[in-house]
Chain A
């Protein structure tokens, strides 16, 4: 196991995080042991940040103790690895609009103690503002809707501390099915540049088709 980022490890082309709840799997991922420590394999075909790692992303601004606002947290596949990374003093505020998927994250949140599942619409940040106890260090968005850029901007205005980071998985198909992905990416990044300093862009193909991960920093 080699550490490549805070809390992220690599072994023979696979990525891992330290399992916060030893013995437990979240989505059927493999468990691995190395020097008495248990790790969970971070499946790059199921989770977009892992796909970005696979494709060689260089900016991966997650650290122990971090507070993260996660937009579109769904059933917690990705959030569980974030939870491993930030640890007990960190916090993941996970918002999702679908009660069907959020139901599945509840048992995961219960055993981890650092995920706050919030049923809410990310277009209406004021509705869940009362549950977010601080300005966060990172806003991560994976909502796959045509207004994903304005959603990110609004939530960052409200909840991201200055100098904090934002990451978004842009899904070109959700934004415009007619235009080519490249064209959609260019327009989206253009919008993002007005609000953030862009640190890196990584395409997630072939692990996630027509997705671009953008890492940026609040000015």
Chain B
């Protein structure tokens, strides 16, 4: 005999294929606790669910169907008609099962519970991951500015020492050399040593060079600010998304949270969606009939995927996305830290993918 076990804000209900109520177990009538339970039920087996299952087990039921995949669950059927029935009739079921004696009591309870939830959501959404979203925006702005300034510096300093532009491709190093040494005659660096003698650049006055040095110095300050900002975000992530941080690294975890619109959203996304975060533009183009269907978004910035060969990347992206999805859920629901374990699993599975023949 089969039973569908469904959790709602008031408690757990079990029904059969014909939508007959088989058993139920109320949640504590403390609204915050009930709201927490309902959220938790998406990722782990609740005591109340176990209770209902055991009661039915004694009555001869053998197959228990849940709406979410979680430890201890064998049969999963999301959005089954039975689940739908329970969700559409919570009020009636709650009164039938005598969890609430009348609809007005249930209203009071529901109002309190949704208020609690809204408060928690509001708190979460403003205090914590919104900071990450903003910091990510600030970093993007900063990167754009740095690039603009660097182009200017390269062009400007190029009047004096054009050969250095190609010899030193790293922006930060370029700015450091200018700020530190100024006149090309003074520059001591293995990459440019040989180019100084026959430079085509013009000889400039001291004051010209000093201005460029001061400009380069400001750019270096921006690099420093960038660094500070990254470690600041890392600090927040350690508190609000430690699991995701371990699986994705600072930069990717931050961008995932920002692009998905926050940890709450991210935690509810299936991993197939996570894989496409940041590829929305390409996806829309594809849906309009232009271009190819994108296979991945910013997830490609993950070191495991970046370092891999083309033929493995698709599989790796799926793997990374699934681990991120688990990590984001753990983080959002404030569950225990398991990042080190997730990361280990990730690296090990990645190894088998990379060593397999495509």
Interface set of A (CB-CB < 8 Å, partner B): 88-91, 99, 102-103, 106, 109-110, 112-119, 127, 129-135
Contact = CB atoms under 8 A, between A and B. Distances in A.
A135 B119 CA distance: 25
A84 B89 CA distance: 24
B88 A119 contact: no
Contacts of B104: 88-89, 113
Nearest to A91: B107
Interface stretch (B120-128, B246-254, B343-351): B120-128
B107 A88 contact: yes
Contact of A110 (B107, B115, B117, B121): B115
B167 interface: no
Contact of A134 (B91, B113, B114, B121): B91
A134 B115 contact: no
7 contacts: A88-B104, A99-B122, A103-B122, A118-B114, A118-B118, A131-B114, A133-B90
Contacts of A119: 117-118, 121-122, 125
Closest 9 CB pairs of A and B: A133-B90, A116-B114, A119-B121, A99-B122, A133-B91, A88-B104, A134-B91, A117-B118, A113-B108
Contacts of A99: 121-122, 125-126
Given A91-B107, A118-B117, A131-B114, 19 more contacts: A89-B104, A89-B107, A91-B110, A99-B121, A103-B122, A106-B118, A106-B119, A109-B114, A109-B115, A110-B111, A113-B107, A113-B108, A114-B111, A130-B8, A130-B38, A131-B9, A133-B10, A133-B94, A134-B88
Contacts of B38: 130
Contacts of B121: 99, 119
A116 B110 contact: yes
A37 B89 CA distance: 35
Contacts of B103: 89
B318 interface: no
Contacts of A114: 107, 111
B115 A117 contact: yes
